[in-house]
Chains A and B, each alone.
Chain A
């Protein structure tokens, strides 16, 4: 009895240990890579630490990045819990930003709270629909959601460029095509007197809400059954399509909301600049946290700090500007490779042969 109670904790220990180990190994490999470029091994990590956590100023940089990463991480994590792997985060992010800009620009005369609410709703719906399309294509038509959602990213970016350089373009944006700016008073505010905007609150609330929905509601139970074994789910009469579509919609809505934050708090307008890669790093966040909404918050902060150090690695150690992309790539490969390790360690399932 004692031992059976121990199983879930050992299992969750496994899903913490393996990604952590993969992350540490990729850090070490990355350090080795930087040494090849002439940087000191520990100096690399000192620089990342300084840029990400070294001071309150630096911590704000990390938090600013953690906010969209949390929301984009949920975009992969929630559908994954229902058994659908999507990588359409960037597309949902961009669609959310675009829809938010449209909503913000058409509610200029309304009060600020109404305009912000309209932007958040428009962004969430646009992102949610975008991921639901990929999930629906897999569930109803058998189109692999990894591939369709990846392609939907390109469609979203192309659509955004088409609108931003065409009908939605501010004629005053000469060198850098963008939509008209959202009224300063209608933009998303900052937390207290810091540089960190309200997007962080959105990210934390969404993560906790997702955890609550998954772990403490009937819907969450259904999602996990569908994701765990679709045939069993069908056998017990669960509405597979509805569960998959709602989980995917919620996931996409999170990324769409991140796009809204990017428009309403960071750039103040939609342009090519909003496709800055948060969506893609969000996939990494989801895999590193093994699709757990609570762990997503911590992983987002760590990866936020790592991305924030892209500039300091250049400034402190004269490393190339693409160095951080190399780090993301190494981590991605190792996380995917580490998927093969689950269930291979005696330690994590030590309870079986006991009886």
Chain B
């Protein structure tokens, strides 16, 4: 009895092992065929489906399918600790990645710096951040986009939709990049609605959905007509707008799905353009180490680093035309966003009369003011 049992068990195990071995032999090894292709590794700090910052990068990576010579691999939810180092190292050693795209701000120092020193033949591209010439390893490049132009156009749309011109902005932190978006949005709204005003609330961090919802509700209670924001993913801000029956414009990624009736448009990234350009350059044998790939790649609306989300159903054809005209003016250079005279909300002149500041001007990256008509404190209170 026991014996026959044992036999059948042994038989079973043998057949299982054989099947496993056969399957292993028949299936080509994972890495085969991939080695000939250019392997690029992507790291995201959060989930790939956040309808925000990370999804925008993941969508950009996804668009590399169009380039047959590229194999792009990714890891999501990689925290800004030694876990990031390990993911990068694995991509290099296990997948043969020749370039790493580190998309979260906190990856650069010290994790990318360390792995870049350890792997001088691999190129590293970091989204945003500051490269220190002569100190940081030469195989690191920085890429970013000037999305405030798109925020300006979203502001134009918001200004056209609202009667009272009261806008609400939920922002993560009062850092220059966020302040640029707030002020651009305001200037866009004011360009079509001179009485436009805005109230800004800061939540303190990039991903705080509960606090974002509270801030958005509070702004709705105070009677704003359009809600927008700059956080890791403003999806909850869109949801609050939809529920409260006020307009919303998105940021980072197209959030129209969560506010089908109330979504107007939004400023979203178009990283696919950037990643395809990098992939092509690396494929052509260029490298950031020897300077054939520029150390900094920062693009504007014209460079298609960012774009306006498709309009929601409430935006009329006449309004769409007006936004298109504003976009045309930005693209052909006949209109600048930062054109004096501009005052901040404590009465100081920040751009004198007759002066314009180009969107690429680094002075804007030191922005520490909110425009007149914006209720909010740059100290983040």
Q: Do A and B come from one complex?
A: yes
- A314 CA to B27 CA, complexed, in Å: 19
> A238 → chain B, closest Cβ, in Å?
39
- A51 CA to B86 CA, complexed, in Å: 12
Is residue A57 within 8 Å, beta carbon to beta carbon, of the partner chain?
Answer: yes
Q: Is the Cβ of A316 less than 8 Å from the Cβ of B30?
A: yes
Q: Is the Cβ of B2 less than 8 Å from the Cβ of A350?
A: yes
> B205 → chain A, closest Cβ, in Å?
9
Is residue A158 within 8 Å, beta carbon to beta carbon, of the partner chain?
Answer: no
Q: A230-284: which have CB < 8 Å to B? A: 266-267, 271, 273, 276
Complex interface: chain A residues within 8 A of B106 (CB): 175-176
Contact with A along B1-39 (1 / 0, CB 8 A): 010010000000000000010011001011100000000
Complex interface: chain B residues within 8 A of A320 (CB): 48, 76
Contact with A along B61-81 (1 / 0, CB 8 A): 000000000000111110111
- Interface residues contributed by chain B, number (CB under 8 Å): 31
Residue from the list B2, B27, B75, B90 in contact with A46, Cβ < 8 A: B27
Complex interface: chain B residues within 8 A of A267 (CB): 81-82
> A175 → chain B, closest Cβ, in Å?
5
- A276 CA to B74 CA, complexed, in Å: 21
Q: Is the Cβ of A43 less than 8 Å from the Cβ of B27?
A: yes
Is residue B344 within 8 Å, beta carbon to beta carbon, of the partner chain?
Answer: no
Complex interface: chain B residues within 8 A of A192 (CB): none
- Interface residues contributed by chain A, number (CB under 8 Å): 30
Is residue B290 within 8 Å, beta carbon to beta carbon, of the partner chain?
Answer: no
Is residue B47 within 8 Å, beta carbon to beta carbon, of the partner chain?
Answer: yes
Q: Is the Cβ of A314 less than 8 Å from the Cβ of B74?
A: yes
- Which of B91-99, B138-146, B249-257, B333-341 has 4 or more CB atoms under 8 Å from chain A? B91-99
Q: Is the Cβ of A315 less than 8 Å from the Cβ of B24?
A: no
Is residue B356 within 8 Å, beta carbon to beta carbon, of the partner chain?
Answer: no
Q: Is the Cβ of A271 less than 8 Å from the Cβ of B81?
A: yes
Complex interface: chain B residues within 8 A of A38 (CB): none
Is residue A50 within 8 Å, beta carbon to beta carbon, of the partner chain?
Answer: yes
List the B residue with the shortest CB-CB distance to A310.
Answer: B75
Q: Is the Cβ of B74 less than 8 Å from the Cβ of A273?
A: no
Given A46-B27, A267-B81, A273-B83, the answer on whether A314 and B94 have CB atoms closer than 8 Å is no
Complex interface: chain B residues within 8 A of A271 (CB): 81
Is residue A107 within 8 Å, beta carbon to beta carbon, of the partner chain?
Answer: no
Residue from the list A47, A266, A311 in contact with B75, Cβ < 8 A: A311
List the B residue with the shortest CB-CB distance to A49.
Answer: B24
- A350 CA to B5 CA, complexed, in Å: 13
- A18 CA to B41 CA, complexed, in Å: 40
Q: Is the Cβ of B5 less than 8 Å from the Cβ of A347?
A: yes
Complex interface: chain B residues within 8 A of A315 (CB): 41, 73-75, 90-91, 94-95
- A27 CA to B27 CA, complexed, in Å: 19
Q: Is the Cβ of A54 less than 8 Å from the Cβ of B2?
A: no
Main secondary structure of the interface of A (DSSP, over half): helix
List the B residue with the shortest CB-CB distance to A267.
Answer: B82
Is residue A219 within 8 Å, beta carbon to beta carbon, of the partner chain?
Answer: no
Q: A16-72: which have CB < 8 Å to B? A: 40, 42-43, 46-47, 50-51, 54-55, 57-58, 61
Q: A149-167: which have CB < 8 Å to B? A: none
Is residue A321 within 8 Å, beta carbon to beta carbon, of the partner chain?
Answer: yes
Q: Is the Cβ of B74 less than 8 Å from the Cβ of A42?
A: no
Is residue B368 within 8 Å, beta carbon to beta carbon, of the partner chain?
Answer: no
Complex interface: chain B residues within 8 A of A51 (CB): 90, 94
Q: Is the Cβ of B94 less than 8 Å from the Cβ of A54?
A: yes
- A46 CA to B48 CA, complexed, in Å: 24
Complex interface: chain B residues within 8 A of A46 (CB): 24, 27, 29-30
Q: Is the Cβ of B90 less than 8 Å from the Cβ of A42?
A: no
Is residue B87 within 8 Å, beta carbon to beta carbon, of the partner chain?
Answer: yes
5 closest residue pairs by CB, A with B: A315-B73, A273-B81, A321-B77, A321-B76, A42-B23
- Provide 30 A-B residue pairs closer than 8 Å at the C-beta atoms, listed in order of the A residue: A42-B20, A42-B23, A42-B24, A46-B24, A46-B29, A46-B30, A47-B30, A50-B31, A54-B94, A55-B94, A57-B94, A61-B86, A175-B80, A175-B105, A175-B106, A176-B80, A267-B81, A267-B82, A271-B81, A314-B75, A314-B76, A315-B41, A315-B73, A315-B91, A315-B94, A320-B76, A321-B47, A321-B75, A321-B77, A347-B2
Q: A-contacting residues of B (Cβ < 8 Å)?
A: 2, 5, 20, 23-24, 27, 29-31, 41, 47-48, 73-77, 79-83, 86-87, 90-91, 93-95, 105-106
